[in-house]
Amino acid sequence: MSPIAAHAARDRLRIAIQKSGRLAEPARSLLAACGLSWRESRDKLFCYGESLPVDLLLVRDDDIPGLIADGVCDLGVVGRNELNEQAGERAANGLPQAYCELRPLGFGGCRLMLAVPDEWDWQGPAQLQGRRIATSYPSILAAWLREQGIEAGVVELSGSVEIAPKLGTADLICDLVSSGATLRANLLKPVETLLESEAVLAGPVREFDDARAGLMAMLLRRMDGVLARRDSKLLMFRAERDAVDALARLLPEADPLTALPGGEDGPLSLQTMCHGAVTWQLLEELERAGARGLMVLGVERALE
């Protein structure tokens, strides 16, 4: 696609997400919670937005940064590790930054870590001097080595990085770690974290100057509402006026208590948004402090 076609004015927003993989379903669920729905194409590579003019491209995770840079899509849900790696590649090739992280999304968490053979007595990064490190993230690793003042060989592999020490192609590895089970199975142990990664919403550095600007602002507002309330609960109860201060002290992770209209005489009807765990123990403590008719409700979506 030519640059002119890629950056032409459009009245629909286009979002790229993984077609399959660990970020695919959570990304769809998040966007659906923002009020989006689609009609999927026969080849299952494109979803036409029905509730709003917001379409989906279903692609490989490592294609998403390039699609944003080329203007083929406007936003993307991608791992921070992939976004940063390709940003490093662009910088190394003298290309300007074309995309940035807009929002962390709170799923797909993992860490890019150095892992060494179990028998190593790890003393710190100085041990890496002159070593060979296998990785699928050479740009991130090279930048980290420069920061540490370490000269080491970077062995770029596209997959099965964890077997490189066994094969003798590297002394240690730099790879994504979630549970650590793969490392343990290959007699490796994690020792240094280079990057805390998760799924992020990525977008172009330049701002839209057409209808997409309004669509993006609306989507971000809805997404912020979904993400902020993902683990929130609405707590409702009745209490006498002289118990309100004590009850509020039991809810340090909640919004200020709000009295509902009515009930000028007698107990107040109160509610608050709780952002921490609402446990049975907390409910029992509230009851002992004077709360009655306690009710906990899930929050699907909210706007500030």
pLDDT of residue 229: 76
pLDDT tens for the chain, 304 residues long, are 434 344 556 889 999 999 988 999 999 999 999 999 999 888 888 999 999 999 999 999 999 999 999 999 999 999 999 999 999 999 999 999 999 999 999 899 999 999 999 999 999 999 999 999 999 999 999 999 999 999 999 999 988 899 999 999 999 999 999 888 999 999 999 999 999 999 999 999 999 999 999 999 999 999 998 887 777 889 999 999 999 999 999 998 888 999 988 656 788 999 998 877 788 999 999 999 999 999 998 876 666 6
Q: Is residue 37 part of a domain?
A: yes
Please state, in angstroms and rounded to a whole number, the distance separating the CA atoms of residues 239 and 233: 19
Of 197, 218, 242, the position where a domain reaches its end is 197
pLDDT of residue 1: 40
Of 228, 247, 279, the position where a domain reaches its end is 228
Q: Is residue 205 part of a domain?
A: yes
Q: How many domains does the chain have?
A: 3
Q: Are residues 21 and 90 in the same domain?
A: yes
Q: Are residues 169 and 266 in the same domain?
A: no
Name the strand (E) or helix (H) holding 174. Answer: strand 172-177
Residue 271 belongs to domain spanning: 233-298
Q: Is residue 239 part of a domain?
A: yes
pLDDT of residue 261: 80
Please state, in angstroms and rounded to a whole number, the distance separating the CA atoms of residues 273 and 233: 6
Q: Is residue 258 part of a domain?
A: yes
Q: Is residue 304 part of a domain?
A: no
Q: Are residues 166 and 176 in the same domain?
A: yes
How many beta carbons lie within 10 A of that of residue 9, not counting itself?
9
Q: Are residues 94 and 34 in the same domain?
A: yes
Q: Are residues 146 and 204 in the same domain?
A: no
Q: Which amino acid is at 26?
A: P
Q: Are residues 74 and 125 in the same domain?
A: no
Q: Is residue 268 part of a domain?
A: yes
Q: Are residues 81 and 7 in the same domain?
A: yes
pLDDT of residue 4: 36
Q: Are residues 192 and 216 in the same domain?
A: no
CATH number at residue 143: 3.40.190.10
Q: Are residues 221 and 249 in the same domain?
A: no
Residue with tokens 């990085």: 161
**Token output for 100:** 């940035």
Q: Are residues 94 and 147 in the same domain?
A: no
Q: Which residues are within 8 A (CB) of 80 and not within 5 positions of it... i.e. 6 or more apart?
A: 101, 104, 195, 196, 197, 198, 199, 200
Of 228, 247, 271, the position where a domain reaches its end is 228
Task: Give the CA-trace dihedral at 179, 141, 196, 63, to 10 degrees.
Answer: -90
Residue with tokens 């990057």: 195
Q: Are residues 184 and 206 in the same domain?
A: no
Q: Is residue 139 part of a domain?
A: yes
- Determine contact, residues 134/173, Cβ cutoff 8 Å: yes
pLDDT of residue 156: 95
* This prediction's pTM: 0.77
Q: Are residues 180 and 41 in the same domain?
A: no
Q: Is residue 303 part of a domain?
A: no
CATH number at residue 241: 3.30.70.120
